[in-house]
């Protein structure tokens, strides 16, 4: 996730993810990141960001092989 969710929202997200993961026939959930990661230090409360890919805001896209 690019943005941390507060307490209950984070727990609800995790619970939902677990429900999907234990569903028979489920194998993979994937989505390309379309923004930078926003991190909040739990100690200081300061925000920092980390870009994904080669430059600010860039995203690495998976390479498909075969047909």
Domain boundaries, the chain: 7-50
How large is the average pLDDT for residues 44-62?
A: 51
0.85 cut: is pTM over it? no
Among 65, 66, 34, residue whose Cα is nearest residue 51: 34
Report the percent of the chain where pLDDT is more than 70.
54
Q: In the structure, what pLDDT confidence band is assigned to residue 10 with cuts at 50, 70 and 90? A: confident
How large is the average pLDDT for residues 30-48?
A: 70
Among 14, 58, 23, 18, residue whose Cα is nearest residue 37: 58
Long-range Cβ contact pairs of 4-13 (< 8 A, separation 24 or more): 4/38, 4/39, 4/40
d(CA 38, CA 65): 32
């Amino acid at each position: 996730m690019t943005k941390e969710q507060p307490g209950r929202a984070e727990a609800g997200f995790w619970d939902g993810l677990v429900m999907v993961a234990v569903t028979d026939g489920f194998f993979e959930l994937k989505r390309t990141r379309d923004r930078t990661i926003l991190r909040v230090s739990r100690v200081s409360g300061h925000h920092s960001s980390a870009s994904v890919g080669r430059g600010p805001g860039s995203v690495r896209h998976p390479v498909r092989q075969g047909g």
